[in-house]
A and B are shown apart, each in its own frame.
Chain A
Amino acid sequence: DAGVTQSPTHLIKTRGQQVTLRCSPKSGHDTVSWYQQALGQGPQFIFQYYEEEERQRGNFPDRFSGHQFPNYSSELNVNALLLGDSALYLCASSLDDRPDNEQFFGPGTRLTVL
């Protein structure tokens, strides 16, 4: 079992561009959550997908959008990139959407916006 995988590992973009990050959940997991971790801070919840629907959203603008595919993999899209979007983006998967289930995290995608 490869665990949670994310691609790419690193990404450099310029302000105003758009970016797509990808996540494959741990085998058997159907729920994917996305987090943004700025340097020196704890991860901040962006949104969660379950059964291909966005089930809950954190305090992030509409520039952040996502999708979950029938095979449970997920994408995070960010439009009109700002310098402040530079961060480590973490994907986590879990078995169903119970909040007390363990979430398994991927290694993250490091996004740098210049």
Chain B
Amino acid sequence: AQSVTQLDSHVSVSEGTPVLLRCNYSSSYSPSLFWYVQHPNKGLQLLLKYTSAATLVKGINGFEAEFKKSETSFHLTKPSAHMSDAAEYFCVVTFPLDTGRRALTFGSGTRLQVQP
């Protein structure tokens, strides 16, 4: 079985300060990991993904995440928050290709608020 835990349901930061959204995963396999963002009334959008290449992954809009196998973590960071970053963020894990299993497993989400 595999699962993903987002450690904070809500995070509030001031504009221009760093963002840290925490994610821990559990998987019997070497996982692929993703971060998706969901803005109100818009579809989920991929921020970045890790698929066993470089452990530090850079995504869109200045976000990046580091895969740490020893800590089973995949935390999302951004050096400086912008008002437009306010949204719901989901950490996602999936099985490796050779398992034949295709489902994405989503965390429960972290709502990021950005204060002016």
* Chain B contacts for A102, CB-based, 8 A: 46, 49
* Chain B contacts for A43, CB-based, 8 A: 44, 90, 104, 106
Task: Give A92 to B105 CA distance when docked, in angstroms.
Answer: 14
Q: Would you list which residues of chain A between 16 and 37 have a CB under 8 Å from chain B? A: 33, 35
Pick the residue among A40, A48, A100, A107 that contacts B103 (CB under 8 A): A48
Chain A nearest Cβ from B33, distance in angstroms = 10
Chain B nearest Cβ from A14, distance in angstroms = 25
Given contacts A90-B44, A99-B32, A105-B44, contact A42 B108 (CB under 8 A): yes
Q: Judge whether A99 and B102 touch: CB under 8 Å.
A: yes
Mostly helix, strand, loop or mixed at chain A's interface?
loop
Q: How many cross-chain pairs have Cβ atoms below 8 Å apart between A and B?
A: 66
Counting chain A residues whose Cβ lies within 8 A of the other chain, the interface size class is 20 to 34
Given contacts A105-B43, A106-B43, A107-B42, contact A99 B101 (CB under 8 A): yes
Q: Judge whether A100 and B97 touch: CB under 8 Å.
A: yes
Task: Give A55 to B95 CA distance when docked, in angstroms.
Answer: 14
Residues of A within 8 A of B (CB): 3-4, 33, 35, 40-45, 48, 55-56, 58, 90, 92, 97-100, 102-108
